[in-house]
Amino acid sequence: MTGSTSIDEERPAIRTFEKRQLRDVLGSFVTGVTVVTTLDGEGKMHGLTANSFSSVSLDPPLVLWSQATSAGSHTAFRDAGRFTINILAEHQYDLANHFATRSPDKFSGIDYDLGVDGLPLLRDCSAWLECKVVSRYPGGDHVIYVGSVESIRQSTQRPLVFGGGQYLVADPHDLGLAPVGTEGAMKSQPHAVRLASRAMLRLARTLDKTLALVAWGNHGPTVIAWQAATTPVAADLPLGLVLPVTSSASGLALAAFLPPEAVDRFVTAELRDNARQASGEVLPTAESLAPVLESVRVSYVATRRPAPFYDDRMLANAISVPILSPSGMAVLALTAIGPAEHFDAAADGPCAEALRAAAHEISAALREA
C-alpha cells in the first residue's frame, strides 16, 4: 500500500466482456509460437499453429496444448495417440500464418522430415518435442491435450514470439552485465530505454537531427538505437557501434556520471592511444579530460566539436546528455548528431536545451518508478 493509484481507480475490472476484449487481455501474455503436427488413421498429416503450448512438468516430462473443437483438424488430433510440437524460429512467421489457415494439404511445398511414427518435423525450427498423448480434458470450446515428452531437439535458431496479436522477436531485456560499481543503478536501464525511445521519436521530428541512444556496454559506449533525421548523418548507421569515451559526446556524457572503476580501464587505453596518434585532431589528454568531465557534471551536456564521424566519412558535431538512475549514475546517453556545417552544437543552444529537458524528464520518471 504505497501512495500510488489503486488498481480499481486506474483500471476498473470489466465483469461483462466480449470475446474480443478477453482476447486483447490474453494478448498481454506473450508466448512462443508452435505448429503442432500429427498423423491420422489413414496416414494423412495434419498441423496447426498453436500458441496454447505450455510446459507442465519436468519429472515426469509433460507438456500441454489446447485445440479449438471447431478446428478442421480437431478429429485428427482427438483420435491421435501422438503429437509433435514444432517451436517456430523467429523467421518463420509465414509458416505460422500458413499453418493457421485452413487448407486441404498444408504440407505441400513445406520442408519437413519424418520423426517417430512418421509424424512430421518441420525444418529450420527452434526446437521440437515428440510427445505421446497421456490425457485429454474438455476445456470449453477447446480440448486440452497433455503429452508425455519422448524426445527433444533444439537448434540455434531464436524462437518466434507472439503477443498483442502480432509476431514479435525476442531480445534480451538487459544490455549485458552492468558496468563495475553500477549494478543496482542499471536496474532502471530497461525502463529508461523505453522512455528514451519514445522521446527520440519526438525529438528527431522537432530537432531534425540524427539521434542516438548510447549505453555503457562491455566495450564502452555502445549505440543501442538510432533515430534518423530527414538528412541522415550516414545511410547505414549500425547498432552496436562502439564510440570512444574521451572523444565522443556520448562517451563523455556517460563517463562523467559513472564510477571510475567502470570507466578508467577504457579511458587509460584511449589516452595512451591518443598520445601515440599523430593525427591533426586535437585529442584529449589526462590533463584536458578532467575539467571536461567536471563541466559535463555541472551542465549535464557534453558536446563534440567538428570531428570525423563513423568511418571518417563526414565531419559531424554532437551533443549528448546523460539519463540518470535514481542514484545519479548514467544509465544511457541521448545524443544528437548532425553534419558540422549545419549543426551548431553549442552547449547552451536550443538543441542542447531540448535534449537536456528530455533527459531530465526521463531521469525524473525513473526516480518515481
Ligand X SMILES: Cc1cc2nc3c(=O)[nH]c(=O)nc-3n(C[C@H](O)[C@H](O)[C@H](O)COP(=O)(O)O)c2cc1C
Binding site for ligand X (CB under 6 A): 33, 48-52, 66-68, 71-73, 96, 100-102, 162
Amino acid in position 333? A
Dist CA 227 CA 157 (whole Å): 28
- Choose between 99 and 226: whose C-beta lies nearer to ligand X: 99
For residue 61, give the nearest of 132, 137, 126, 120 by alpha carbon.
132
Note if the bond before 60 is cis, omega within 30 degrees: yes
- Cβ proximity to ligand X: between 145 and 343 the closer is 145
| Shortest Cβ 130–ligand X spacing (Å) | 18
Q: How far is the CB of 103 from ligand X (least distance, A)?
A: 7
Nearest-angstrom CA–CA distance, 124 and 157: 8
The least CB distance from residue 49 to ligand X, in Å, is 4
Report the chain's C-alpha Rg in angstroms.
Answer: 27
> Minimum Å distance from CB 29 to ligand X?
12
> In terms of CB distance, is 47 or 115 closer to ligand X?
47
Which set of grid coordinates corresponds to residue 354? 531540448
Instruction: Rank residues 49 and 92 by Cβ distance to ligand X and give the closer one.
Output: 49
Nearest CB to ligand X, comparing residues 84 and 335: 84
Which residues does 195 contact at the CB level (< 8 Å), separation at least 6? 362, 365, 366
Provide, rounded to whole angstroms, the least separation between the CB of residue 214 and ligand X. Answer: 35
Please give the backbone phi and psi of residue 176, each rounded to the nearest 5 degrees, phi first: 95, -170
Helical (H) or strand (E) element with 274: helix 260-276
To ligand X, the closest distance from the beta carbon of 76 in angstroms equals 8
> Which uninterrupted H or E stretch holds 215?
strand 210-217
Q: Which is nearer to ligand X, 67 or 325 (CB)?
A: 67
Give the C-alpha separation, 65 to 133, whole Å: 11
The rounded distance, in Å, linking the Cα atoms of 225 and 176 is 15
Q: How far is the CB of 105 from ligand X (least distance, A)?
A: 10
Nearer to ligand X, 66 or 250 (CB): 66
